[in-house]
Copies of this chain bind each other. A is one copy, B any other.
Amino acid sequence: MLKLSRLTDYAAVVMAQIARHPQASHAAADLAEAVQLPHPTVSKTLKMLVKAGLLESQRGAQGGYRLARPASKITAADIISAIEGPVAMTECSQAEGGCELVATCGVADNWQRVSLAIRTLLESVTLAHLADTAPIKLPVQLPIQSISLSAASA
């Protein structure tokens, strides 16, 4: 399914929530309440996002989380990598020379190109986009066709 993990989903929702009130400091408990998810799980997610440098935290009373940089500078790829590690479709597209089947594989190169295209796409989507409640119009269906691989096979 090429599916995101549930925690990644949570992370996106929480990040969007924070992005909608960038000035405030958000306690984990408040966020959990706002998005209707269990507190410990939200807390765990928040810690990962801090570790990845997407959020900043402050301890103590009146503490909480806030964005480390503007929502327009945080990408979907950032959020995904924070939780799941680097965006890569195959084993071999993240490690260097880890796959011993290279000889018989025959699709490695092109899979990696696809992987790169997806990563690039995810890097072009920002948290600001995601947090926007008004759905943005995405004219991707036709344009992507027009720059498809077949057009580039020359």
Q: How far is the CB of A77 from chain B (nearest CB, A)?
A: 9
A67: CB under 8 A from chain B? no
Contact of B130 with A110 in the complex, beta carbons under 8 Å: yes
CA–CA, A145 and B76, complex, Å: 14
Please give the number of chain A residues whose Cβ is less than 8 angstroms from any Cβ of chain B in the complex. Answer: 67
Q: Quick one: given A3-B90, A121-B121, A130-B111, are A116 and B138 in contact (CB under 8 Å)?
A: yes
Total copies of this chain within the assembly: 2
Contact of B126 with A138 in the complex, beta carbons under 8 Å: no
* B-chain residues with CB within 8 Å of residue A61 when the two chains form the complex: none
Contact of A104 among B36, B109, B116 (CB under 8 A): B36
CA–CA, A147 and B114, complex, Å: 17
Contact of A141 among B105, B120, B148 (CB under 8 A): B120
Contact with B along A110-122 (1 / 0, CB 8 A): 1101101110111
Contact of B113 with A136 in the complex, beta carbons under 8 Å: yes
Contact with B along A81-117 (1 / 0, CB 8 A): 0001111111100100000010111110111011011
Query: 4 nearest interchain CB pairs?
Result: A124-B148, A117-B140, A109-B135, A113-B138
13 CB contacts below 8 A, A to B, read: A1-B84, A2-B88, A16-B106, A35-B105, A36-B103, A107-B131, A110-B135, A111-B130, A114-B122, A117-B140, A121-B144, A124-B148, A143-B143
